[in-house]
Amino acid sequence: MDKICYNSKMQNHLRPDRNAADTHQLSSRYTSIRIVRQSNVVTTSDKPLSPPPKYFRRYFRLPADVNANNKNGLSFTATHANTSVYNMYGTSLCDHSIRLHEALLLAVGCCCGLPNNTRPYNILVFLPTETKSHFMGFQPLLETLVTRGHNVTLVSPFALGSGGMTLPYYTHVKVETTDNMGAVNHLDKNSLFNRLPLYIYTLWLGPMITKKAINKKSVRDFVVGDRSSFDLVVVENFFHECFVTLGHKYGAPVVQLLPFAANPRVSQWHSNPYGPAYIADFTGSYVAPMTFAQRAQNAVSTLFSTWANRLLYMPQQRAIMDEHFAYPGHEGRPDLETMLRNVSLTLVNSHPIIGQAAPYVPSYVQVAGMHMKPAGPLPTDLKTILDSAEHGVIYFSLGSVVKSSKMPRETVSFLLSELAKLKQTVLWKWEDVKLPNLPKNVVVKKWFPQNDILSHPNCRLFITHGGIHSLIEAIYYGVPMLAIPVFGDQPHNSIQAESRGFALYVSYFELTAEAFGSKLQQLLQDPGFAKAAAKASSILRDHPTSIMDNAIFWIEFVVRHGGAPHLRTAANQLYWFQYYMLDVILTAMALLAVVSYLNFKFLAYLLKKIVGGSKHPASKVSKIKKKRR
pLDDT at 113: 55
Residues (pLDDT < 70) of the chain are 1-118, 163-164, 168, 179-183, 613-629
Question: For residue 30, what are the β-bridge partners?
Answer: 80
pLDDT at 400: 86
CA distance 237 to 369: 18
Single-letter code of the amino acid located at 613: G
Q: How many CA atoms lie within 13 A of 301 on its CB side?
A: 24
Q: What is the pTM of this model?
A: 0.79
CA distance 378 to 380: 6
Per-residue CA distances from 222 to 64, 228, 326, 442, 489 (Å) = 34, 10, 11, 47, 32
Single-letter code of the amino acid located at 523: L
Single-letter code of the amino acid located at 8: S
pLDDT at 164: 63
Long-range CB pairs of 581-586, under 8 A, 24+ apart, other chains included: none
User: Cβ distance 336 to 244 under 8 Å?
Assistant: yes
CA distance 71 to 450: 58
**Ramachandran bin of 563, using left for φ above 0, alpha for ψ from -120 to 50, beta for the remaining angles:** left
Q: Per-residue DSSP letters for 440-469?
A: TTEEEES---HHHHHTSTTEEEEEE---HH
> What is residue 396's DSSP assignment?
E
CA distance 573 to 578: 9
pLDDT at 57: 35
Contacts of 406 (CB under 8 A, 6+ apart): 185, 187, 431
Neighbours of 624 (CB within 10 A): 8
Nearest to 166 by CA among 373, 17, 370: 17
